[in-house]
């Protein structure tokens, strides 16, 4: 899979928030608005005394950035929260489709990314915290880390087409 081209800081922030649970993105939006609004609503000292012009310009600059940022940053956080909720729903839908399928070859039609999502969600359902680290390395395998309490399992999934088990067995155990 080809890597994405250069992204803007706004896209990077939205992707970062999308990695978090959706409710964390909503809380970040609220907190960022309240903090930046408090800075944006402060009064700027209008009388410039000799030697204080630099401080006045700095204060005006911060107020201007906060005035714009109090709307842009929460919108980016809410966008990331929406992406997070959508991705979570897609994972749950994938698990439901696989567990309800009667076909033994349900995994054959999946892309490596869908399979990685399925395995990650299976571990989440068993109480693990899962960090999907991607793949696309030289071996073409999907990779992830599953952690529960003080144990950690590193998953390197190789040879997917010939796996002798059914994905529903993983999710039911």
Please spell the DSSP secondary structure of 119-141, one letter per residue: HHHHHHHTT-EEEEEEE-STT--
Q: Where are the domains of the chain?
A: 9-91, 104-172
CA-closest candidate to residue 14, choices 64, 66, 86, 121? 86
Between these two residues, 165 and 66, which has the higher pLDDT value? 66
Point out which residues pair with 143 in neighbouring strands: 134, 156
Mean pLDDT of the chain: 78
Question: Is residue 168 within 8 Å of 142, Cβ to Cβ?
Answer: no
Check whether 37 has a pLDDT greater than 90.
yes
pLDDT of residue 161: 43
pLDDT band of residue 102 (cuts 50, 70, 90) is confident
Between these two residues, 15 and 153, which has the higher pLDDT value? 15
The string of pLDDT tens digits covering residues 104-157 is 778 887 887 888 888 888 888 888 877 766 555 545 555 566 666 545 555 555
* Most confidently predicted of 20-29, 89-98, 109-118, 159-168: 20-29
Point out which residues pair with 153 in neighbouring strands: 146
pLDDT band of residue 158 (cuts 50, 70, 90) is very low
Check whether 66 has a pLDDT greater than 80.
yes
pLDDT of residue 164: 41
Alpha carbon distance 18, 150 (integer Å): 26
Element holding 145 (H helix, E strand): strand 142-148
pLDDT of residue 132: 64
């Amino acid at each position: 899979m080809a890597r994405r081209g250069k992204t803007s800081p706004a896209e990077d922030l939205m992707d970062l928030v999308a990695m978090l649970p959706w409710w964390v993105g909503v809380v970040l939006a609220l907190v960022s608005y309240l903090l930046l609004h408090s800075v944006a609503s402060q009064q700027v000292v209008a009388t410039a005394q000799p030697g204080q012009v630099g401080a006045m310009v700095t204060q005006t600059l911060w107020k201007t950035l906060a005035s714009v940022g109090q709307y842009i940053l929460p919108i980016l956080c809410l966008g990331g929260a929406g992406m997070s909720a959508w991705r979570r729903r897609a994972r749950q839908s994938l698990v439901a489709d696989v567990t309800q399928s009667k076909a033994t070859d349900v995994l054959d039609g999946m892309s490596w990314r869908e399979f990685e999502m399925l395995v990650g969600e299976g571990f989440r359902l068993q109480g693990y915290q899962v960090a999907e680290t991607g793949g696309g390395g030289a071996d073409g395998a999907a990779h992830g880390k599953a952690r529960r309490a003080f144990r950690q399992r590193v998953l390197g999934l190789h040879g997917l087409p010939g796996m002798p088990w059914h994905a529903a067995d993983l999710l039911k155990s």
